């Protein structure tokens, strides 16, 4: 209520509106928070903070058939091409999609999703290893070897990378 009152008396203050949106989210009022984030974007279409949060809320709601969180995060990257948070959100989103595809043995979709994730985190040995693992599972050992060698070159002591490779060979 304090934030609502503050917004009422100073509707142009984006920081107060963002605080209101955060308070609404904490209070479980998701739709009201989304509405407030959209109001921020109406006033400032390039509000990186609002775009990031709206993408995060959209992804958490799981309504990808209606709203696509990728849209918001890619808008952030148009404004700030090196925004690490947007890159992380995009990478995580594609990694989740890749894992879902793998669970259904849909390797072609998993490969595409891993490639998308790699676009936003090209230095990730974990993603390189997972992509190599997909190629192992499809029998394309030459392509698998290429990604695995890159992964091991980037993180030669990372046990998670080795674990990813070993799981793929066992599968």
Three-class SS string for 37-81?
HHHHHHHCCCCHHHHHHHHHHHHHHCCCCCCCHHHHHHHHHHHCC
**Under 8 Å between Cβ of 128 and 168:** no
Q: Write down the pTM of the prediction.
A: 0.83
Point out the least confidently predicted range of 24-33, 77-86, 113-122, 135-144.
Answer: 24-33
Confidence of residue 74 (pLDDT cuts 50, 70, 90): very high
**Under 8 Å between Cβ of 3 and 21:** no
Q: What is the pLDDT of the chain when averaged over all its residues? A: 90
Is residue 67's pLDDT more than 70? no
What is the chain's percent helix, strand, coil content, to nearest 5? Answer: 80, 0, 20
Is residue 66's pLDDT more than 90? no
CA distance 57 to 37: 10
Provide the percentage of residues in the chain whose pLDDT is more than 90. 63
C-alpha torsion angle, residues 72, 73, 78, 83 (rounded to 10): 140
* Cα distances (angstroms) measured from residue 53 to each of 26, 82, 160: 13, 17, 30
Tokens linked to 129: 């290893």
Tokens linked to 49: 């903070």
């Amino acid at each position: 209520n304090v934030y609502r009152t503050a917004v009422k008396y100073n509707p142009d203050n984006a920081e107060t509106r963002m605080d209101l949106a955060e308070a609404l989210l904490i209070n479980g009022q998701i739709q009201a928070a989304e509405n407030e984030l959209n109001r921020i974007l109406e006033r400032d279409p390039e509000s990186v903070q609002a775009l990031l949060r709206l993408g995060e809320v959209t992804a958490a709601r799981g309504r990808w058939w209606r709203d696509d969180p990728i849209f918001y995060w890619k808008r952030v990257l148009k404004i700030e091409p090196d925004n690490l948070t947007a890159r992380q959100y995009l990478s995580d989103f594609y990694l989740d999609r890749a894992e879902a595809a793998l669970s259904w043995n849909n390797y072609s979709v998993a490969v595409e999703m891993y490639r998308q994730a790699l676009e936003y985190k090209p230095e990730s040995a974990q993603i390189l290893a997972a992509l190599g693992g997909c190629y192992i599972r499809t029998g394309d050992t030459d392509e698998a070897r290429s990604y695995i060698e890159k992964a091991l070159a980037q993180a030669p002591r990372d046990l998670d990378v080795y674990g990813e490779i070993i799981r793929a060979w066992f599968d």
